[in-house]
Each structure stands twice: as C-alpha cells, then as structure tokens.
Amino acid sequence: MDLRRFLRNLVPARLRMARAWEDRARRNAMHYVADHRAVWDDEAAFFQTGADDTAKLLGMAGWGDTSGGRLLEIGCGVGRMTRHLSRSFEHVTAIDISPTMISKAKALNASTGNARFEVSSGTDLGLQPDAHFDFVLSYIVFQHIPEANIVYCYVREAVRVLKPGGRFLFQVRNDPGYVPHYDTYDGAAVDLPEIQRVAEGAGSSVLRTIGAGTQYCFVEIQKLAR
C-alpha cells in the first residue's frame, strides 16, 4: 500500500484525535498536557515539570553538544518542554494536532525566539521537509494514539525528515498486560519488533530500547548515513 492510500485509511482516527484534543485544549489544556494536577494555577510549576522532563530526556539521549542542531518536537502541547528544549538547540519546530494548543503555546512562549509552533495532521509530518532535522523527539504523545499503525507511520516519517545520521528518541506504550481502549487518551500499545521492521525498512536502525514491556518504553533510532 502506498503512503497516500495508507494515510487516507487513517482519516477516521485522525478526525477523532483532532476533535478530542481540541476539546481538551479548550477545556483545560495544561491538565491534559500534564495530568498529575487537575488544575495548574501555578504557571511556573507547570513549566518546571517541562524543564525536569527535558533534562531527563536529553540526559537519556546522550546526544552531546546539540547547540547547532535542529530539533522537531512531536506533540508539543502548550510548549511545556519546548521553551527548555530551545536552550539546547539552534532551532526547534514544535507541532501539535490541536490549533488551540498551538495558539496557547505561542502566547506562553512568546519570548522563545528560536522555536516555531505549527499545527500538524496528527498522523504524519507532511508539512516538514525531507532531511531537514538533526534530531526528532516525542514524549508522552504516542501513548494517546488510538492505532499503532499511526505510530509506525510517525517512525517512517521521522526517518524521512531526519538528516543522514540524525536521531529520533520517542516514548511508546509497550506493556503486554495493558488492555487497549483504542481511544484518544488511552491509546494503543505498539509491537517493538514491528517498530524495528518499520525503522529498518525506512532506512534507519534501532540503537536501543529502554523500558520494554512498560507504558514508558523509549526507543531511539538513527537514520543511516548515505
């Protein structure tokens, strides 16, 4: 099946995700970005969680000096991590399926001059150019996606937009005891062998997997140098 036809088959899931996340963003955006508080009445505390997670993820990645690199952040929400990521990269492109999330992200991060916020389709990276980014990152995003095939599509797409040698670190749900709801919050679990197959078929290799068999499973892949 070619990519265009494959994406057409994902339209119902994409529409469900777009409607659901736009509704959540309008009702209580910060809660749905970081749901361990029902109400975030302290903006500084909210963004401190982004600083903590950014430090954790970049420490896990071990990418070294990234100050000259371009990063794509998939599922940025209101920019909870974006403003902190922007301090470690030359430029950050941050995308989200919800226009309201993106609008709030722009307002909350107006002083972050090297970050661009864009609305995305929720199923691919169609607006991003080939071989443009040095790094791609996604955290607590794919676990909400209702169909594993969409996650596999993102793997293919991340390889496409990465420069040769570029890296993609992402978190997925991989807990075998989990009973999926296939909704837009408690999404589908992924199959790690399938991720490896997709990654290799797209022209990349899986460097490592951390936390296999859990909700917070991290996979890092690298696009092959040509």
DSSP assignment of 178-191, as one string? Answer: -----SSSS-----
How large is the average pLDDT for residues 114-128?
A: 95
pLDDT at residue 82 is higher than 70: yes
Task: Let me know the angle formed at the C-alpha of 46 by 67 and 30, rounded to the nearest 5 degrees.
Answer: 110
What is the fold, at CATH topology level, of the domain defined by 3-223?
Rossmann fold (3.40.50)
Reduced to 3 states (helix: H, G, I; strand: E, B; else coil), residue 64 is coil
| Separation between Cα atoms, residue 205 and residue 223, nearest integer Å | 7
How large is the average pLDDT for residues 139-157?
A: 95
Distances (CA, A) of 210 to 68, 73, 147, 172, 213: 27, 20, 22, 10, 9
| Separation between Cα atoms, residue 115 and residue 65, nearest integer Å | 18
pLDDT at residue 93 is higher than 50: yes
Residue that the structure tokens 């910060």 belong to:
30
Residue of 142, 149, 128 lying closest to 5 (CA atoms) = 149
Model pLDDT for residues 51-77, shown as the tens digit of each residue: 999 999 999 999 999 999 999 999 999
| Separation between Cα atoms, residue 7 and residue 78, nearest integer Å | 26
| Separation between Cα atoms, residue 137 and residue 92, nearest integer Å | 10
| Separation between Cα atoms, residue 36 and residue 189, nearest integer Å | 21
pLDDT at residue 175 is higher than 70: yes
How large is the average pLDDT for residues 119-129?
A: 94
How large is the average pLDDT for residues 169-191?
A: 88
pLDDT at residue 2 is higher than 80: no
pLDDT at residue 9 is higher than 70: no
How large is the average pLDDT for residues 118-122?
A: 95
User: What confidence score (pLDDT) does residue 144 get?
Assistant: 94
What are the counts of helices (DSSP H) followed by strands (DSSP E) for the chain? 7, 7
Model pLDDT for residues 10-48, shown as the tens digit of each residue: 678 889 999 999 999 999 999 999 999 999 999 999 999
Per the CB < 8 A criterion, the answer to whether 55 and 27 are in contact is no
Model pLDDT for residues 186-205, shown as the tens digit of each residue: 999 999 999 999 999 999 99
pLDDT at residue 1 is higher than 80: no
